[in-house]
Amino acid sequence: MLKMAIITGFLSQTRDRFHEYNTPLDLDAKFELLAGIDGYDGVEIVYPYEVKDPQATRNVLDKYNLKTAAVNVNVKAEPEFRNGGLTSTDPVIRAKAVTLIKEAKDFAAAVGADKVTCCPLGDGYEFSFQYDYAAAWKHLVETIGAAADYNRDIPLFIEYKPSETRGRCFVDTAAKALCLLNDIQSDTMGVTLDFGHSMYGNENPAEAVALLAESRHRYYVHVNDNDGKWDWDYFCGTKHFLEYVEFLYYLKKYDYTDYLTSDTSPTRWDIRGTFEANSRLTNKLWNLLDSIDINALEALIEKGDYLAIWQFIERNIFSIK
């Protein structure tokens, strides 16, 4: 089976602007729930809001025989980060954001994680003439570069997202994430590719995989789905089934072996059932791709006759014969 993990904040109570969903659980109860969900042995935990004590976290991980896929460092919730942390015009605020990422790296090392992922959601803008874009980019290069250079045994991965909490995030595409890493000139950094962020950002997630895989940087994957208009964090394949198949095809093509982490919000649906749906569908599609004649598919792609490709899809992916 594939290596799959869950962002553990989704295992407890979540909320939107109007409703609360599911029951609040402490860390032990979240990990106990996860350990009973078929197809998962990994966690992505949010620092510092979900976990702070590395030894206590390590004890609970060991108790339920779970592995840490990543530590997710949150640099958006503090009041001083409302107008940006890593790109703030105030050097004191920028320094605090960098310190938070460094602390997350120390936490990751203590719990046995091999990476820290950060989605700089507070860093962006809403209106014309709101920011000096060149200055903001220079601040990103300086701050993220400083954080990446600290404890290089724990690489820093940057997750891109089109928007939230800002109307437009500065790091909003795979290409801009790679531009950022190129400007930082760090060989240890990576990019976190979230299927849903890519989809509602008007990217093709499969193409994003190819772009990242052909670069010199590592990448790490979050799986979910949405309607292409907002980051709803639906379970996999519910809105973009064929795009998800192609996404997995390219992950397989490039020998992706890291965790596929469910960044999926159960809301109105049973928590266990939602995450088991992600694992079940993803593993079935992964195995399906093993069973079809990939060489024949690649030959059709090379030939460029999409009607013939579509017939192949009908027969081999949709099983319409």
Quick check: 172 and 163 in contact, CB under 8 A?
A: yes
| pLDDT tens sequence across 82-108 | 999 999 999 999 999 999 999 999 999
Q: What pLDDT score does 1 carry? A: 85
For the segment 203-230, the average pLDDT, to the nearest whole number, is: 98
Q: Looking at residue 74, what is its pLDDT?
A: 87
In the block, tokens 């795009």 appear at 243
Q: Give me the residue spans of the domains in the chain.
A: 4-292
Q: pLDDT (tens digit, 9 = 90+) per residue, 142-159?
A: 999 999 999 999 999 999
Q: Which CATH number fits domain 4-292: 1.10.10.10, 3.20.20.10, 3.20.20.150, 1.10.3720.10?
A: 3.20.20.150
Residue 78's pLDDT is what? 87
3-state percent helix, strand, coil for the chain, nearest multiple of 5: 45, 15, 40
Tokens standing for residue 139: 């601040």
What pLDDT score was predicted for residue 22? 94
- Measured CA to CA, the distance from residue 309 to residue 292 in angstroms comes to 13
Token pair recorded at residue 106:
């120390």
pLDDT at 76 over 90: no
pTM score, whole prediction: 0.97
Element (H, E) at 282: helix 271-291
Strand residue runs (E) in the chain? 4-7, 14-15, 20-21, 42-47, 67-73, 116-118, 124-125, 156-159, 168-169, 190-194, 218-223, 260-262
Average of per-residue pLDDT across 214-224: 98
pLDDT digits 0-9 by tens, 17-28: 899 999 999 999
Give the separation between CA 43 and CA 34, rounded to whole angstroms: 8
How far is it, in rounded angstroms, from Cα 232 to Cα 59? 33
pLDDT for position 275: 98
User: Three-class SS of residue 142?
Assistant: helix
